[in-house]
A and B are shown apart, each in its own frame.
Chain A
C-alpha cells in the first residue's frame, strides 16, 4: 500500500498525478479461505480489516454481489453518535465513536470524520423528560451528552428558530458534541484499501447463492456465482439481505427488511453547522461538506427489497423539515433514493453465533448502522477470530429473542419507526 502523505502528494503533483495507481487489487477467488465475509459494505470491510490488523488473520475473502460500498454504506445519511439509552448500546456505539476518532490516521485515509455535534430537539414535556433521561444514562456510561436551553441551542445552531409561538417550539435540546458525520464512501474505500494491503481478497461481482455444510453440520464454504469457495468460518454481513442469505442454511431470522429513503438538496454555501434531529416532528437534517442538505426519511410501512420507497414518505419528511426550517422551502432536491434496512424487533443489532457451527452473523442494524461501522467490524472480527463474542457484543445474541433478554432501543434511529 502506498502511503498517502504530503511528500507523496508533492511527488505526484510533479508527475501530473499519473502515478497513484489502484488502491486495491481485483483478485480471482482462491479455492478456500480461513474466513469468508459475505458483504463488502462498511461493516464487512471493517471486519476484514480488523481480522488482519488486530488478529493477524489475512487468509480472508470479502465477497460482494455488486461493488464494494454500493449498498447501504453508500445510501445512509452518515450520522455518527453514541447517545443511546441502554448500557449495552452505549457500550458498542461508544466503542465505535472512539475508533472513529482515530480512524483517518489508522487507515491513512481521510474519512472526513467531522465532530460537528448532534443536537436532538425537545418540543414538549415528554421530549424533555426522555432526552434528560438519555443524558443521565449516557453520563453514567461515560458518553458525552448535555442539556441546552433554547438560547444555547440557538447559539450552537443559528438557523434554528426558537420563537415560542411556533407550531413546534424548541424548549430545549440534547447535544452530543462528539457526534457528527463522516464521508461514507471514504469509510468503505479506506477499510478496503487497508484490508487489501494486509492480504485480504476483496472479490466483487461474486454473489453468494448457497451455504454449504459438511457431514458434521458445520459450515464448509459458500456457493457463489464464481464457484464454490471453502471456508472454516463464514461471517454474514449482508444488511437488508440477511434473511435471504440465512435462509440458504434454513436459519429463520427475527428480521424484516424495509425500504428507508433519504434525499439531498442542491449544494449551497455553508448554512447549517451541525446535525439536528427531532423525533417529535419526525425529521433530521445536516449539511455535507459538498454543500448538500442531507435529509433522512422514515421507513416505508411494508417489507420490500426494491431499494425504492413511496414518494409520500419523502414528502412527509420534507413537510416536517419545513416545520422546523421554513427557510429551506425554496431549496431544490437533487436526488432521493432508498436502501433496504434489516430491522429487528428490539431495534438492536445481532452480532454473534448462529445455530450452525462456523456460521456467524452481524446484522439487524436497521435504520442506524453506519455510525457503528468501526465498532461493529472490530467486535465481529474478534468473534470470527476466536469463535466467541467480544464482551461488547456478547449481549447482542440471536438467542436473546428466545430468552427474552431484549435490548429495547426505541430510540435506535433518528426518527420513529
Chain B
C-alpha cells in the first residue's frame, strides 16, 4: 500500500485515495471544432511512461479534494504532490526515463 502525501492533509494510506489517471489533459475548450483524431487523443491516448508520471488523485476518504502528483511508475515512489491548477517543479517528458 502506498503512503500518499495529500497537499492538504499530509501523508495518509492509499486506501483513503482514488486515482484519477493521467493529469494535465485539458478538456477541449471548443468540442465542436474537434476532429476524430483530436477526440481519440483526448479520450483514449495516454503517455503511460515507465518513469515519471503526472497523475490526478482525490483524497476520497479525507478532505475529498483533488490534487496532482508526480510518481515514478517503475518504483511507485511519489516525487511530489501539488495542488490542482498548478504545475510541478518539473514536468515529465511523457517518455520512459529508463
Contact = CB atoms under 8 A, between A and B. Distances in A.
A345 B43 contact: yes
B48 A306 contact: no
A345 B44 contact: yes
Contacts of A413: none
Nearest to A242: B48
Contact of A305 (B19, B43, B73): B73
A345 B37 CA distance: 16
Interface in B3-19: 14-15, 18-19
Nearest to A246: B48
Contact of B45 (A254, A302, A311, A404): A254
Contact of A302 (B37, B44, B71): B71
Contact of A312 (B14, B48, B75, B96): B14
Nearest to A254: B44
A247 interface: yes
Contacts of B45: 252-254, 401
B48 A243 contact: yes
B96 A244 contact: yes
Given A310-B14, A345-B43, A243 B73 contact: no
Interface in B61-88: 71, 73-76
B40 A254 contact: yes
Contacts of B55: 302-303
A403 interface: yes
Nearest to B37: A402
Contacts of A312: 1, 14-15
A402 B95 contact: no
A402 B37 CA distance: 6
A255 B50 CA distance: 13
Contacts of A252: 41, 45-47
B48 A253 contact: yes
A256 B40 contact: no
A330 to B, nearest CB: 25
B19 A302 contact: yes
A400 B14 CA distance: 35
A255 B48 CA distance: 7
A243 B49 contact: yes
Contact of B46 (A244, A256, A302, A306): A256
A402 B39 CA distance: 8
Question: Chain A interface mostly helix, strand, loop or mixed?
Answer: loop
Interface in A209-252: 241, 243-244, 247, 252
Nearest to B13: A312
B25 interface: no
A108 interface: no
A163 interface: no
B76 to A, nearest CB: 5
B33 interface: no
A312 B1 CA distance: 7
Given A306-B74, A311-B1, A312-B14, A402 B40 contact: yes
A254 B50 contact: no
Contacts of B73: 257, 303-306
A252 B53 CA distance: 15
Contacts of B15: 312
A403 B36 contact: yes
Nearest to B46: A256
Nearest to B2: A310
Contacts of B47: 243, 252
Nearest to A315: B1
Given A256-B48, A303-B73, A312-B1, 11 more contacts: A244-B49, A244-B96, A252-B47, A253-B46, A254-B46, A257-B73, A301-B19, A302-B55, A306-B73, A401-B45, A402-B37
Interface of B: 1-2, 14-15, 18-19, 21, 36-37, 40-41, 43-50, 53, 55, 71, 73-76, 95-96
Interface of A: 241, 243-244, 247, 252-257, 301-306, 310-312, 345, 401-404
10 contacts: A241-B50, A244-B96, A253-B46, A301-B18, A303-B53, A304-B76, A305-B73, A306-B75, A310-B2, A403-B36
Closest 9 CB pairs of A and B: A254-B44, A243-B48, A302-B19, A301-B19, A402-B40, A401-B44, A305-B50, A310-B1, A345-B44
